[in-house]
Each structure stands twice: as structure tokens, then as C-alpha cells.
A and B are shown apart, each in its own frame.
Chain A
Amino acid sequence: MTVWHLVLLAAIAVLGIKLLGYAVPPRLFDSPRPRRTLELLTVSLLAGLVAVQTLGGADGIALDARIPAVAVAAGLFAVRAPFIVAVAAAAATAALLRALAGLA
């Protein structure tokens, strides 16, 4: 599959799911268990993505400037900094550590 196939397939899937929300009977998800499961699935996926994006490397795990950068971002999110500020601070931290301290 080319990248284009994947892009279109993923876009159709996400859009289809949105439409499905308006089509299925609301009672289907009107209890705490499915709501809780969907919410925790979201938490789980996002946390897994944090780990993989912070630690993933060519041969499994790579420890580099991303770790302090993500710590800086987490600190900023903890004090309710805007999304774009925290993300830019993470990029700047990693870029500076690489340029000045020679981190990988």
C-alpha cells in the first residue's frame, strides 16, 4: 500500500466513525461501561503514543534529547500553558540540547 492509500483509508475510517455516531441508536452507548471503556481506550492510545514517540528508535529504544524535551512540555502542561507553547518549548529544548550539549 502506498502512503496515499493509507491516508485515504484512515480518513475514510475516521469520517465513517463520525457518521456512525449520528446513525446508531443512542441507547447503545448510554451506560457507563462503554463510555468508560472508550475514554480509557483513548487514554491508553495517547499514553502509548507518548512512550513510542519519546523512546522509539531504529533498533527499538533510543534514549536522546527527546526525554528532557518531553519533561519540559509536561511541566508546562501541568501549569496550563497553551498547547502550542508547550510543544514549541519541547522542540526548542531538544534542538538546543543537540546543538549546544551534543546530545543525540
Chain B
Amino acid sequence: MSDHTLAPVRTVTLHVNGQPVVVSAMADTPLLLILRNDLQLNGPKYGCGLGECGACTVIIDGVAARTCVFPLSGAEGRTITTLEGLGSRAQPHLVQQAFIDEQAAQCGYCMNGMIMTAKALLDRIPHPSEAQVRNELSANLCRCGTHLEIIRAVMLAARQMP
């Protein structure tokens, strides 16, 4: 495909945080931009645009997904959960609460990806080993060096999993 050919505009129905939403944009628009700009969600963050750092992670159909490389056209009909969909400051999800309890942020820009990736892991493996946690987060980058607090947060959340 030529670099500068435009993808057609698509109108797509998504299910985001429990609500159906209809958006129209070029079919290849990264889902990240749709979530942030059309749906005004702050959770998923732009970090690299190459799926390398994980800051943009959401959960799509139960699996962690990197929205910077996930086109709108692929999201049609799928169920998407963002950080906001997990819980709020007043009623945080247990993974969010564990990150707060363990102070698992310095700048916190990567935290969305860490929480969403951890949530997807715990849904799949409720009681992972620390090695499994390190593996699962191995492609989520943190520049401030909060890794130890993040691991502790995920292990704390795991202990509280049913």
C-alpha cells in the first residue's frame, strides 16, 4: 500500500467500558487516538507508536492489547476495557488499589500499561509467581525505575484475587 493513500472513513461500533459507542474515522486510525480524542479517555497513553513500551495498553476481548498499533477497523464489535473501566479513584479495582498501596509510580506515565497488563494476567492466572509477573511485564517499559514497587503491587493484587 502506498504510504500516503488514505484509508476510507469507517463508522464503527465499539463496546468501551460497558457502553456501546459509535465513532467515525479513517479505518487505520490507531484505536489509541479514538479512545483518547473521541472518547476523551486519559488512561491509555501514547508512548512509542510501535507496540514496544506498553503505555497504551487496554484490554480487548479479555486480552491485553496495544492500541497504538491497533487500527479502528479491527476494533469493530469488540469489547474494550480501559483504565477508567476498571474503577475510579472512589472505587478502584483491586489492581489499581494495589498500585496505590505499593506506591507503584514515580512519574506514573507507564502505570496505565502496567495496571492493564497485570489485570489481564491476573484474569488468566490469578496467582502467578514473581517470575511470571516479570515475564508478563517484560515488554512494558518504565524509565523512572519503579519496577520493584510494580512487582510488589502485582503480587499484592494477586494475593487478593479470589
**Co-assembled chains A and B:** no
